[in-house]
Structure 1
Amino acid sequence: LAKIKPVFEGKTISAGNASQLSDGASACVIMSDRIAAQKGLKPLGIFRGFVAAGVEPDEMGVGPVAAIPRLLKRHNLKIDDIDLWELNEAYAVQVIYCRDKLGIDPEKLNVNGGSIAIGHPYGMTGARLTGHLL
């Protein structure tokens, strides 16, 4: 973020730290398998992990190329071990680039349409992507 210049000289707000259209809210209920069993709930999915990875500001949208291999390595998995993939689709070329760089089978990627087809619900895209997979 330090590389992104402020909008106004001598000020601090930049494209990297300003409130955006993506600010919003959504909710996902996350609980342990033990509590779900106590409440008689059947989980829709199991959360296995996450990683944080960054790319240069001019490479917006290609973070999955840096993050996915790290997460797979942590769990001793390969790209082909994953049955379905949902990648955020800010731009068509961005998801195609990530798919090709990572070697994801197109038949497993955004199988019901990505954000371009379905829409981009500001502030809850992560929840939409996850829910769509489930």
Structure 2
Amino acid sequence: PLQVKRGIIDKQTGKIAGEEEYYVDRDECNRADTTLAGLLKLPPVFDTTSGQGSVTAGNSSQLSDGASATLLMSRERAEALGVRPKLVFRGYAVAGCEPDEMGIGPVFAVPKLLQRHGLRVEDIDLWELNEAFASQVVYCRDRLGLDPEKLNVNGGSISIGHPFGMTGSRLVGTLANEMLRRKARLGVVTMCIGGGQGMAGLFEACL
């Protein structure tokens, strides 16, 4: 729970016209009254004519508010400052795909990352894969052979939110806290990037 001030925007001018106090006591994404029956009634938003469209407002992330910060430093600097790190950043890989397929970038980035470090999918204890649509996550999960019990264990972008510009930092923070809670050793953060890219980062817990 958090007490905040939020700006009231004048829709005519686009400027902040005033402020109000607001108490945030729950995630803005999840809705307690959501049911499977209700989700099945939602119309597709892309393929609206063939009857085969599967992407709806119910299996897509919403625009949500969020902020995140991640502190990265050398081991020597951390020791000098007396900072106890949560994770060690072991490396990353970037891959490209067709721009109109950019949502499946992790399918190409993850194998490169694992190969560089001599690892298999089975060696990774936790995965954080952030995508705007459930179809992207399901496709990446199936193509990469990820264990659902290790993937987005606290929810993905549909339940947590998908604020612009903070995805990587948010995923690292979520991964760090869950790895330490479970005493897990290795974790991977992966996501697509606009324009046809995928990125994957490998982290090791400081147990």
What's 1:126 paired with?
Answer: 168
Give the CA RMSD over aligned residues: 1.7
Query: Would the aligned equivalents of 1:90 and 1:116 in 2 still touch at CA under 8 Å?
Result: yes
List alignment gaps of at least 5 residues for structure 2: 1-62, 177-207
What's 2:95 paired with?
Answer: 53
Question: What is the CA–CA distance in structure 1 between the aligned matches of 2:153 and 2:131, rounded to whole Å?
Answer: 12
What's 1:92 paired with?
Answer: 134
Query: Would the aligned equivalents of 1:26 and 1:123 in 2 still touch at CA under 8 Å?
Result: no
Question: What is the CA–CA distance in structure 2 between the aligned matches of 1:48 and 1:113, rounded to whole Å?
Answer: 24
Q: Detail structure 1 runs of 4+ shifted over 6 Å in the superposition.
A: none
What's 1:39 paired with?
Answer: 81
Task: Flag the structure with higher strand content.
Answer: 2
Aligned length: 112
After TM superposition, give the deviation of residue 102 of structure 1 in Å.
0.2
What's 1:111 paired with?
Answer: 153
Question: What is the CA–CA distance in structure 2 between the aligned matches of 1:46 and 1:82, rounded to whole Å?
Answer: 14
Question: What is the CA–CA distance in structure 1 between the aligned matches of 2:131 and 2:159, rounded to whole Å?
Answer: 9
List alignment gaps of at least 5 residues for structure 1: 1-20
Question: What is the CA–CA distance in structure 1 between the aligned matches of 2:144 and 2:163, rounded to whole Å?
Answer: 26
After TM superposition, give the deviation of residue 58 of structure 1 in Å.
1.6
**Counterpart of 1:28 in 2: which secondary structure?**
coil
**TM-score normalised over the length of structure 2:** 0.52
**TM-score normalised over the length of structure 1:** 0.79
Identity rate of aligned residues, in percent?
66
Task: Flag the structure with higher helix content.
Answer: 1
What's 2:125 paired with?
Answer: 83
Query: Would the aligned equivalents of 2:127 and 2:152 in 1 still touch at CA under 8 Å?
Result: yes
Q: Superposition pairs for residues 7-18 of structure 1, below 5 Å?
A: none
After TM superposition, give the deviation of residue 27 of structure 1 in Å.
3.6
1:82 is matched by which residue type in structure 2?
I
After TM superposition, give the deviation of residue 26 of structure 1 in Å.
5.2
